[in-house]
Amino acid sequence: EAQVTQNPRYLITVTGKKLTVTCSQNMNHEYMSWYRQDPGLGLRQIYYSMNVEVTDKGDVPEGYKVSRKEKRNFPLILESPSPNQTSLYFCASSLSYTEQYFGPGTRLTVT
């Protein structure tokens, strides 16, 4: 089954404790993105990647890091999480700039 998977689905952590949210796709897509979804703000792009080792900032990259060492994986790293990073995070992948396939989401709470 073609899909985008994210882990963990739910995470509660404390301020400053480094964490990684993994994202993997099995559709051989070149493009992958991370978004955060907040009430009243919609979906905002954090980072995106056009291929292995090629990444670029989205609209809200502060406080986040990404890496793309393999085509299928695109982890999101929060080096020192803060409460304002409490959000619902989505990974997405696509072949081009058309349809993006979204993962099921990761709900992160930073206390």
Q: Which residues bind another protein (CB under 8 A)?
A: 4, 30-33, 35, 40-45, 48-50, 58-59, 90, 92, 94, 96-105
For the CA atoms of 9, 46, 110, 42, what is the dihedral angle to 10 degrees? -80
CB of 60 to another protein, least distance (A): 12
Nearer to another protein, 59 or 79 (CB): 59
CB of 80 to another protein, least distance (A): 26
Nearer to another protein, 18 or 57 (CB): 57
DSSP E strand boundaries for 31-102: 31-38, 42-51, 54-57, 65-66, 76-78, 87-94, 101-102
